[in-house]
Structure 1
């Protein structure tokens, strides 16, 4: 009878009907050799895991679906990859996957997608206690979505892997996943045309870490309480839109040799509970309850040190972003050229801008600059633009950056005379950032969805 059932799909194919339309569902039970069942499956079949624990590593070498019922667990028992995929068009869905090996050089992972595993779909899984959660090793066109990924904790950060790693994997979408623990949430190197959207990151080093990844998108992500929110390095032509960095420790955004990016509608906040949210309402950016209860319910420690750090990053467009309650709003250095910084709001940062250089940089475009919360200017004609230019730094700031011990003189009469002289005679001011058309009020807030 089973032979007849196998022959019937072949007849359908001969008649011009898709072979996958005849896919069978093969059900696995705990204690049954799962690899043998996968080896006996045909292209398009569904291998369904009944609730229970399945031990040992498995390999999928044909296009099929591995689907788990609630309570199905694949345990690698601490060796190698738990699931290795070599075939294209494979789906892994609804499975708890845990217990990979710990060999960083071997890239031991909960799910390892080899280069031939193109167009893989990894969705609705829970990946815990793996060195790497998902490793996309050249698998073009893959999609990783709605997974809960928890990395290793309790050891050295350098010995932990990433939630998702990509290497040379174009056209990959990573959407609506939750990341906790481990090294980086998402780490991408030598890739292109990828989309990292709507993900949530907590208690990792870098939420998103880009290296040599071009023509890609980072949108709608939320990073809370990590070392750095978004580290963009050696990458070109990115769209970075509608992301949140709340109480990340060192930097909300870090741009290092990043060029021709559009950075639009993002929010970086530190200090106490974000002023744009209250303790009972998640706020306009928290459309799906993405912010942890600890952030919504009360104050956290101060941070980050820098809302944005721009180092040798050129020809980028920073528009409509909010940088709030950081020690430094923007640290701008190392000869960054041709950047457009307009329509942003700098609110309650201890130092709005730290610019180490002697050039004059005008942070306004087309008669429109940025909003500065410490700018006491007037708008007598009511056009929304302050009547006088704004300079975030003066000669004294430069002295304090080069000689921090001079802080003891900050309130001395001599320092006050110098600052008064600079205000009366602008020609005395050194080169630096100037906003010739500062906004008199902050631009309207947009939700992450509107920014995208």
Structure 2
């Protein structure tokens, strides 16, 4: 399909800018004056109060002496201030209903919910939770009917996904921040309902082994930023439900079912994430549109990236050692400059009509370069540039970087020509040439599959291609 795809590029730069601005605004809550210093050791509390005295003299609270519980301290702390928790273990199931910053001293500050329900529930905008560890999350992964207060049509979805136990639960908590928090959970890590412009960054969510447990971060009806975090174990690292515009970037994901799982979610940016050992690295489902998947690296998984819906922008990703590298299920979409190497199936095409721009991808070293379902013949080239397939029949006689022979990766002869002398000879036989010429003049006689009319003579990203699979120096054969 020869077309200009520039008008199909979503505003990825604008989405990064929005995320940058949202992060900057949310992180301003870290600078609130300290109103309360909390600990269990009187001497440590007194020393901390002395160190933080200044523009506002903080109150020192020794749990067990000055207050009976951390919940009581949070309840009485002034709005728009910081409650600082010294190192120690705090038995706490907290609710925050005012703009407040709750900050610890790092992993040495532990909030322990005792295994009963969500540990920290936030029902106010502009709340920050930073620099602490959360344990003792309840193991309920679904909600009770009495917990739901939304519309009836998606009640089942909300209860099944949005109302289970969590380390941090946000509801109506716009512009909130969860940063530098470690969460050990048998259920959810962080759930955000109706909490736009919320930021989750530099968190470490550890779920149960394998794919039990639930979601690391779950934005539901919430546009938010999830960045620079680590997720290991559990079901999905990031699961979105009607979270249009969400940005998920620079995260590390390992040993889950799905890395990023988007449901009913459009206009997102999923960028520069590293994903390992999943059933699927990045999955788009349920009729999304205009999602951008850029610069992600997915390996050792069932499916690297799977798209659906329309107007997906899948560019510059690295997909290596997966069962399926890239699964194309979105129409009217752009797939460009991806490195798809050493997968069982490089690209799986599931669309019925040829409406996608597929060009300048490196598809090499896969057991099968392309698997195509029933449908019309898809032509993968844009403005005279197709994809790099490694050694293919033909030569670049005029030195324009394009092999002077079309390549059909779904054709058994073309597909094996690089490794089979018989196929190589057959691909250059007079009969094969005559058949190609006849099909070119009578397109109706072409079978379904994929045709690259302008295969590239050199890889787009030679530095990404593992030398054990392909030697970039030898790219074509006569």
What TM-score results when the alignment is normalised by the length of structure 1?
0.78
1:233 shift after superposition: 1.2
1:102 shift after superposition: 1.2
1:377 shift after superposition: 2.2
1:340 aligns with 357
Q: 1:190 aligns with which of 231, 237, 242?
A: 242
Bigger CA drift: 374-383 or 142-151?
A: 374-383
Change (3 A) 1:192 1:21: closer
2:177 aligns with 121
Question: What per-residue deviation string (whole Å, max 9, x for no partner) do you get for residues 151-210 of structure 1?
Answer: 1226xx3x511111111102x010100000000010001111110010000101101001
User: 1:206 touches 1:231 (CA, 8 Å); kept in 2?
Assistant: yes
Aligned-partner Cα distance in 2 for 1:21–1:347: 51
Aligned-partner Cα distance in 2 for 1:310–1:212: 18
Question: What per-residue deviation string (whole Å, max 9, x for no partner) do you get for residues 301-349 of structure 1?
Answer: xxx11101123x2111001111000111111124154110011110111
1:232 aligns with 284
1:42 aligns with 78
1:104 shift after superposition: 1.5
1:310 aligns with 328
1:261 aligns with 312
Q: 1:110 aligns with which of 153, 167, 172?
A: 167
SS of residue matched to 1:153: coil
1:133 counterpart = 2:169:
no
1:387 shift after superposition: 0.7
User: 2:35 touches 2:77 (CA, 8 Å); kept in 1?
Assistant: no
Q: Number of aligned residue pairs: give it.
A: 376
Q: How does 1:340-419 map to 2 (within 5 A)?
A: 340-394=357-411
Change (3 A) 1:334 1:365: closer
User: 1:38 touches 1:60 (CA, 8 Å); kept in 2?
Assistant: yes
Aligned-partner Cα distance in 2 for 1:397–1:132: 48
SS of residue matched to 2:393: coil
Bigger CA drift: 81-90 or 422-431?
A: 422-431
User: 1:265 touches 1:319 (CA, 8 Å); kept in 2?
Assistant: yes
2:59 aligns with none
Q: 1:76 aligns with which of 113, 130, 144?
A: 113
Q: How does 1:247-286 map to 2 (within 5 A)?
A: 247-248=300-301, 250-256=302-308, 258-270=309-321
Aligned-partner Cα distance in 1 for 2:387–2:34: 61
1:359 shift after superposition: 1.7
**Which runs of 5 or more structure 2 residues have no equivalent in the other structure?**
1-29, 41-62, 144-163, 440-444, 465-478
2:135 aligns with 98
Aligned-partner Cα distance in 2 for 1:363–1:226: 29
1:320 aligns with 337
Change (3 A) 1:42 1:128: same
Change (3 A) 1:153 1:395: closer
Aligned-partner Cα distance in 2 for 1:166–1:90: 16
**Which runs of 5 or more structure 1 residues have no equivalent in the other structure?**
1-19, 271-303, 399-410, 448-452
Answer 1 or 2: higher relative contact order, Cα 8 Å, separation at least 6: 2
Q: 2:435 aligns with which of 412, 425, 435?
A: 425
Aligned-partner Cα distance in 2 for 1:21–1:169: 25
1:56 shift after superposition: 2.8
User: 2:290 touches 2:313 (CA, 8 Å); kept in 1?
Assistant: yes
SS of residue matched to 2:235: coil
SS of residue matched to 1:253: strand
C-alpha root-mean-square deviation of aligned residues, in Å? Answer: 2.7
SS of residue matched to 2:392: coil
SS of residue matched to 1:205: strand
1:23 shift after superposition: 3.7
